[in-house]
Structure 1
Amino acid sequence: MESGEGQRGKAGEDEVMLWSWGAGSDGQLATGTLEDQSLPQPLRSIPSSHPVSHMACGGAHAIALTSNRKVFTWGRGTHGQLGHGDLGSCLKPKLVDFLEGFIIHNISAGWNHSGFVTDTGRLFMCGDGSFGQLGNGDNQSHSLPEEVLFFLSKRVDQVACGMRHSLALFRSGSHGSSIYGYGSARHGQIGVQLSRHRRIIIIPEVILGFEDSRIVHVCANGDHSAALSAHGQLYTWGKGFNGSPDCHQPQVFTSSLTFSQVALGWNHTLLVSDGQVYMVGRMLTHVHRSTGEHLDSKMPFFHGKDSVGSLVLKRITNLIGERVVGVAAGAEHSAVVTDNGTVMAWGWGEHGQLGLGDTDDRISPQRVGLGSKGSDSCPLLRVFCGSGFTFVAKHVLDS
């Protein structure tokens, strides 16, 4: 699931900085209700004195990191993933008091767990730990952020939370990187080959293969993991797409393209190269409710020769002519932002997560209207997807 820097002015009290739509059954839309929304809803539930600079969206909860490094969470809290010290859900953003003494610079939201990295490289996690995905050597869940003690002598750069697993990235000098995986390992998503009867790792283990690569980004979703190198090379591992075999160790995507962004869904991967979007895997695993057809079989693609395993890279042709600057993937829907501030979405739409005013699926990118203060004249937008919901944030530039 990335933004520029420059001059920022003070946000006005009536200025809309955040929009949400899609599934709202656990309060994940921050609208104050439990209703789904099929059109973008302008939000003012985070004070304008705390403009959002980054977000992370999980199964049914969300995390917002503000420009002044405050952390807000909301949505489903039944496993403690909101970090408030209880198991209650929140219909509106609530400050994570525990993190007030730290400067947070990286966040991630999994299905029912969350991760927070400080500016000094300390990693805190909370939520569901039943698969060891909190990394502290047990299967306990925690409702307050707890430091991952394994990394006390290391400096964590990024954390990525999947459905039941986690990744932690470290920079090893100026040229190499280390990635550790922990949690559910059934499909190879933590990048470590295990014995036949060992399905989880409760203490982080290093993933081999990155010693000579400078990794700049890691991501996880569902049972998949991916990493991007500084040279734009993609590594993937985890559950196989389209019935292909699971991969228990990182494999390099064979491509002549240089990738700048990657986003993982449950059954597809989105990639950005030179402002264009490409896809690997199947976007919609279910069939259309009316026709019984797989919708993505009709989606217009350019098929390339680049591949990973038996899968082929596909260029999404409907975005030709648009230069994409941001990309996000939910369970089975996708969204992009172009350089002129246009938001487009496609895929699974049952909960309104495409923001098009209905619950239909779409086989190709469709423009999302954000209203009078929306994307028509606002190029500084960022998009984030949870499993069945979407957020767009107006990017606030640091002063």
Structure 2
Amino acid sequence: MPIFLFAAGSNARGQLATGTRNDAPAFAPCHFVDIPADANAVLRVAGGANHTLVLLTRGGRRELWGCGDGTRRQLGEALEETTVFCPMHIAHPGGEGWVVKDAAAAWETTYVVTTDGTHDSVLAMGGGDHGALGAQGAVASQAAHVVDVASAVGDTRFVVEGIAAGPRHVMLRVRTSMGHQMLVGWGAGRHGQLGTPHRAVVHTPRSVAADDEGDVASIALGSQHSVFLRSSGKTVVCGTDRVAQTRGLDALESVRSVGCTWGGTYALRADGALFAAGKNDRGQLGRPGAGDAAPAGLVAFPRALGGRRITRLVCGSEHVLVLIEGEGEAEVWGWGWNEHGNLGVGHTDDVLVPQKVWPSNDAQKHWRPVDIWAGCGTSFIAVQDAED
């Protein structure tokens, strides 16, 4: 499908790609510089503190584009700051033959998974605070460098099955050439979010133990906690539970999707039931007035989404979006922190109960939402012509 991307929220450095540096309390179209006609899908949007990455396909090939703040080289070698999406130029230290496979963003750091067709490598660039660059002593990276994942997994011919980044730590799901899955992480670990015995900054990649009960299908990271979703539908957690953000998760079964805000966790079960735990000072749990922490244990989410099926769940820093579908229609609903207008509802008051955010007017009804992403005070919706 042709690329149509809309954004709302924080935009002080142009990270919404709307052509300005003004916050957007309502969804506005993103702009791409000289977008090629054969660019036909957005695969992923990842947001850091003030920069945004878009992984798109062009003629069957994946490309990485970026916007916002690039002063610490988190947008590659050529972009310092831009208010529209521009192609990122990243020279792989290994030379030619490496292509982009996936990407993620931490606070001021960018991670790019690349492949040569047989095995993968992970590049890091940008700010290195709290060990974010995965290299001992690195504070800032002027060029992309290869993170030494091979030493952590004991194999140079590994494949990255997934990458997740919180504001200060990052984790990979890695498959070795022998077929074994390993979890690898680095960055901030003082609260145990990189597992035990790591209780400090982890400057270089290390294996992360998550017991031996089967493969991990996905990973979600908060500020000080991590959640692993196993293929079996069970979850494993590590890190702090100071605001009840992990409490009760181990009791859930048949989970098909997990997400983390900085201080909360969300689990979508296969039957469509949504559960949440953690902070609720800004309405993150979809109910007003619970204070800084959720009630003891996991809470079932209010059923205020029209009884339709949730097909996708995404979490920003302290706000949540879901894509719901039914009877041939699709809508985006959201709730939580909204100081920068990041929920796109036209104002900057926090949204304490789930509210439909797309479509919100007759013009938007022409565009069917097909995917959603959320970042640090930002939200993105990919849409296509409803008649296509």
Q: Tell me which interval the TM-score lies in, with the shorter structure as reference length.
A: 0.7 to 0.9
1:331 to 1:284, Cα distance in 2 relative to 1, 3 A? farther
Secondary structure of the corresponding residue to residue 317 of structure 1: coil
Which segment drifts farther, 158-167 or 18-27?
A: 158-167
In structure 2, the residue matched to 1:391 is 380
Secondary structure of the corresponding residue to residue 382 of structure 1: strand
Q: Which amino acid aligns with 2:75?
A: L
In structure 1, the residue matched to 2:102 is 106
In structure 1, the residue matched to 2:183 is 179
- Conservation of the 8 A alpha-carbon contact between 1:80 and 1:126: yes
Match among 157, 160, 175 for residue 161 of structure 2? 157
In structure 1, the residue matched to 2:301 is 315
In 2: Cα distance, 1:286 partner to 1:252 partner = 20
Detail structure 1 runs of 4+ shifted over 6 Å in the superposition: none
- Conservation of the 8 A alpha-carbon contact between 1:79 and 1:142: yes
Secondary structure of the corresponding residue to residue 203 of structure 2: strand
1:21 aligns with 2:18: no
In structure 2, the residue matched to 1:270 is 266
1:99 to 1:221, Cα distance in 2 relative to 1, 3 A? farther
In structure 1, the residue matched to 2:153 is none
In structure 2, the residue matched to 1:53 is 43
In 1: Cα distance, 2:100 partner to 2:52 partner = 16
Match among 316, 324, 334 for residue 330 of structure 1? 316
Match among 96, 108, 112 for residue 88 of structure 2? 96
In 2: Cα distance, 1:191 partner to 1:255 partner = 20
In structure 2, the residue matched to 1:30 is 17
| Aligned counterparts, 1:99-248, within 5 A | 102-119=98-115, 120-151=119-150, 152-171=156-175, 177-194=181-198, 199-242=200-243
Q: Which amino acid aligns with 1:284?
A: D
Q: Which amino acid aligns with 1:278?
A: F
1:365 aligns with 2:369: no
In 1: Cα distance, 2:244 partner to 2:222 partner = 17
1:280 aligns with 2:264: no
Match among 69, 72, 80 for residue 79 of structure 1? 72
Q: Which amino acid aligns with 1:117?
A: V
When normalised by structure 1's length, the TM-score is 0.81
In 2: Cα distance, 1:143 partner to 1:284 partner = 38
Q: CA deviation at 1:316?
A: 2.9
Quote the sequence identity (%). Answer: 24
1:313 to 1:286, Cα distance in 2 relative to 1, 3 A? closer
Relative contact order, higher structure (CA 8 A, sep 6+): 1
CA-based RMSD of the aligned residues comes to 2.9
In structure 1, the residue matched to 2:251 is 255
In 1: Cα distance, 2:250 partner to 2:162 partner = 25
1:71 to 1:193, Cα distance in 2 relative to 1, 3 A? same
In 2: Cα distance, 1:182 partner to 1:372 partner = 46
In 1: Cα distance, 2:277 partner to 2:366 partner = 30
- Conservation of the 8 A alpha-carbon contact between 1:181 and 1:191: no
- Conservation of the 8 A alpha-carbon contact between 1:177 and 1:211: no
The superposition leaves residues 82-129 of structure 1 with CA deviations (integer Å, 9 ceiling, x where unpaired) of: 22356x222111211216953322211111112111243211111111
Q: CA deviation at 1:212?
A: 3.8
1:295 aligns with 2:302: no
The superposition leaves residues 150-203 of structure 1 with CA deviations (integer Å, 9 ceiling, x where unpaired) of: 324433222222111111211358985311121111111111323xxx621112
1:99 to 1:272, Cα distance in 2 relative to 1, 3 A? farther
In 2: Cα distance, 1:220 partner to 1:270 partner = 11
Which segment drifts farther, 47-56 or 181-190?
A: 47-56
Q: Which amino acid aligns with 2:81?
A: S
Q: Where does the alignment leave 5 or more consecutive residues of structure 2 unmatched?
A: 151-155
In 2: Cα distance, 1:285 partner to 1:43 partner = 27
Which segment drifts farther, 18-27 or 136-145?
A: 136-145
In 2: Cα distance, 1:227 partner to 1:106 partner = 19
In structure 2, the residue matched to 1:306 is none
In 2: Cα distance, 1:59 partner to 1:366 partner = 25
- Conservation of the 8 A alpha-carbon contact between 2:160 and 2:174: yes
In structure 2, the residue matched to 1:351 is 340
1:82 to 1:92, Cα distance in 2 relative to 1, 3 A? same
1:127 to 1:333, Cα distance in 2 relative to 1, 3 A? same
In 2: Cα distance, 1:223 partner to 1:90 partner = 31
- Conservation of the 8 A alpha-carbon contact between 1:177 and 1:210: no
In 1: Cα distance, 2:274 partner to 2:223 partner = 21
Q: Which amino acid aligns with 1:59?
A: A
- Conservation of the 8 A alpha-carbon contact between 1:22 and 1:354: yes
Q: CA deviation at 1:77?
A: 2.1
Q: CA deviation at 1:279?
A: 1.0
In 1: Cα distance, 2:306 partner to 2:175 partner = 35
1:221 to 1:144, Cα distance in 2 relative to 1, 3 A? farther
- Conservation of the 8 A alpha-carbon contact between 1:283 and 1:333: no
- Conservation of the 8 A alpha-carbon contact between 1:261 and 1:271: yes
Q: Where does the alignment leave 5 or more consecutive residues of structure 1 unmatched?
A: 1-7, 288-293, 304-309
In 2: Cα distance, 1:176 partner to 1:395 partner = 39
Q: Which amino acid aligns with 1:200?
A: V
In 2: Cα distance, 1:218 partner to 1:260 partner = 12
Q: CA deviation at 1:320?
A: 5.4
In 1: Cα distance, 2:48 partner to 2:144 partner = 16
